[in-house]
Amino acid sequence: MQHRNEHPIRRTTMNPIRAFRNWRMYNETVRELNRLNARQLSDLGINRADIERIARQAI
């Protein structure tokens, strides 16, 4: 069983294509959330410190 909060690059038993897609999705999510200002994040109920956790959950 894989844990959803595990970093996508650490999933070594995963299919390489799926691992690459997950890595891209994780990075894209982090990048997009980091572009938002504090008010926008607050409107979404997101704390800047939670961005990486949220990105891990997205994959």
Task: Give the number of other Cβ atoms within 10 Å of residue 43's Cβ.
Answer: 10
pLDDT < 50 positions in the chain: 1
Q: What residues have CB less than 8 Å from 21, skipping those under 6 apart?
A: none
Question: Residue 1 has what pLDDT?
Answer: 47
**Domains in the chain: boundaries:** 8-57
Is the full-model pTM beyond 0.75?
no
pLDDT of residue 15: 86
Distance CA(21)–CA(39), nearest Å, equals 30
